[in-house]
Structure 1
Amino acid sequence: MSLRYLSAKAAQQIDEELMSTAGAFSIDQLMELAGLACAQTVARVFDKDKYPRVLVCCGPGNQGGDGLVAARHLGLFGYRPIIYMPKPGAKDLYQRLKKQCDNMEIPTIPPSTELGPLEDALASSDVVLDAIFGFSFKPPIRAPFDSALPLLTESKLPIVSVDIPSGWDVEKGNAEGVGLNPDVLLSLTAPKEGARLFQGRHFLGGRFVPKTLEQKFELHLPPYPGSDQIVELSGSSQKL
């Protein structure tokens, strides 16, 4: 059976069930596992000896929380992450994840209305982890992200996007032409409809999905190899 690609409605429903009595996960657990999968994806494709400096771009929501967890794990893996938050999240969980990064002495670009600090960070980075927008994003892109995303594209650095590339519609992909065009995509739980149009290396992370939900939503997930938290999907481009 072929892997199921999720609509926005189905993705939201699965998330809700994972955190209900059906799944019994807390948001902290899911974010930790998702962030670990993000860090493992970066490590799988971009060797730390050649690409040690990772610019982790975090949005204000759960996607950004995944990015903060990933930054912490990348630091533990021996990379040199730096965090960029165009609009930091206000929730307690987000603040605690940021504090964990601070405790590991992972630097953060100071908040600024100017783009100079981001330009400087891009000039001294080897790869970008895009954890800005999640599957709930709807165009248009608003400030301060509308000026930050073009800089990420213009930098020509390789980009790893989390779940759906920032600026893409979860179902229509980059139909507006304003989203990032990453080299690597890590879909979480199951790939989203918009990801059918993605042309790079495509991984799946979400080894936490219980069999009951996998069967209920007919996800037809592939097996994860060994102890890995990620699996590369068949048909994924091997250009990197």
Structure 2
Amino acid sequence: MTLKAISAKDAASLDKDLMEMGGWSLDQLMELAGLSVSQAVWKVHSLSAGKNVLVVCGPGNNGGDGLVAARHLAQYGYNPSVYYPKEGKNELYQRLKTQLQNLSVPFITDFPAALKQSHFLVDAIFGFSFGGPLRDPFPSIISQIEQSSIPVLSVDAPSSWDIQSGPPKEGPGAKFMPQALISLSAPKPCVKFYQGRHFIGGRFLSKDITDKYGLNLPAYPGIEQVLEVEVDTEGRL
């Protein structure tokens, strides 16, 4: 099945439609997105493979998805920790942070040390709204992730990648290829440059929305919040 990718502009418009016409709140969408991320982690990195999961969060909604995912991972039995070097200003992010603190999920400050102690990493730094260039402290963070041997799941897009044209030609992220990627709502164009396990998540789109944006998403089986789909050799889903 060939799935249609959705541009950054249309992804932003879709989110707006969900909230203005669909009756969804940002809290709800972020909760379901983060739940999908946590289930993707469960599918690619079992508890027996190592419980220490480092969730790296950016300042926007992608980082919020990561905060939600960390909470679910703690409930599943993992030992998540969060690196949140540039916190989002929205009051929602502070509530998500409080929820994690109430579960004794640590917010770490020594990123290199945390990388060495972790078995898996969730890259929730930048999503579909990223347009570059990278600003401090993120060039160093992405370079360290890129150079590490730790397996990574990226949320919506590998951080540092342009949503349309994929990985940068040079600098931080030029050779960043996470082991797994979860596209939220629908794939983004950069997925054609991706090689690895790919999941669709964010099970909240109505037929009106999918018809408006021409999406042909597969049906999620049963109670699943994520679905693994392949990328063919021509780069199409």
Q: 1:124 to 1:142 in 2, by over 3 A?
A: same
Q: Secondary structure at the match of 2:53?
A: strand
TM-score (norm 1): 0.92
Q: Report the equivalent of 1:81.
A: 80
Match of 1:126 among 119, 133, 139: 119
CA deviations on 1:129-186 (whole Å, 9 max, x unpaired) are 0000111111221101111111111121000000011000111111334323211000
Q: Secondary structure at the match of 2:47?
A: coil
Q: Secondary structure at the match of 1:54?
A: strand
Equivalent position amino acid for 1:25 in 2: W
Q: 1:236 to 1:83 in 2, by over 3 A?
A: farther
Q: 1:75 to 1:100 in 2, by over 3 A?
A: same
Equivalent position amino acid for 1:165 in 2: P
Task: Check if 1:138 corresponds to 2:131.
Answer: yes
Q: 1:64 Cα deviation (Å)?
A: 0.5
Q: Report the equivalent of 1:2.
A: 2
Task: Check if 1:211 corresponds to 2:210.
Answer: no
Equivalent position amino acid for 1:67 in 2: G
Task: Check if 1:104 corresponds to 2:100.
Answer: no
CA deviations on 1:192-234 (whole Å, 9 max, x unpaired) are 0011111000000021011110111110000111110000013
Q: 1:8 Cα deviation (Å)?
A: 1.5
| d(CA) in 2 for partners of 1:184, 1:153 | 14
Match of 2:162 among 169, 173, 186: 169
TM-score (norm 2): 0.94
Structure 1 stretches of 4+ moved >2 Å: 175-180, 234-237
Correspondence list, 1:43-58, <5 A: 43-58=42-57
Equivalent position amino acid for 2:84 in 1: M
Query: Once superposed, what is the RMSD of the aligned Cα atoms?
Result: 1.4
| d(CA) in 1 for partners of 2:61, 2:221 | 27
Q: Secondary structure at the match of 1:129?
A: strand
| d(CA) in 1 for partners of 2:209, 2:162 | 25
Task: Check if 1:32 corresponds to 2:31.
Answer: yes
| d(CA) in 2 for partners of 1:8, 1:69 | 22
Task: Check if 1:229 corresponds to 2:219.
Answer: no
Q: Report the equivalent of 2:89.
A: 90
Q: 1:236 Cα deviation (Å)?
A: 7.2
Note if contact 2:177-2:195 (Cα within 8 Å) is conserved in structure 1: no
Q: 1:52 to 1:40 in 2, by over 3 A?
A: same
Equivalent position amino acid for 1:101 in 2: L
Segments of 5+ residues of structure 2 without an aligned counterpart are: none
Task: Check if 1:191 corresponds to 2:184.
Answer: no
CA deviations on 1:4-46 (whole Å, 9 max, x unpaired) are 101111111111111112x211000000000000000000110
Paired positions, count: 230
Identity of aligned residues (%): 49
Note if contact 1:160-1:184 (Cα within 8 Å) is conserved in structure 2: yes
| d(CA) in 2 for partners of 1:129, 1:3 | 24
Q: Report the equivalent of 1:114.
A: none
Task: Check if 1:152 corresponds to 2:152.
Answer: no
| d(CA) in 2 for partners of 1:134, 1:123 | 25
Q: Report the equivalent of 1:65.
A: 64
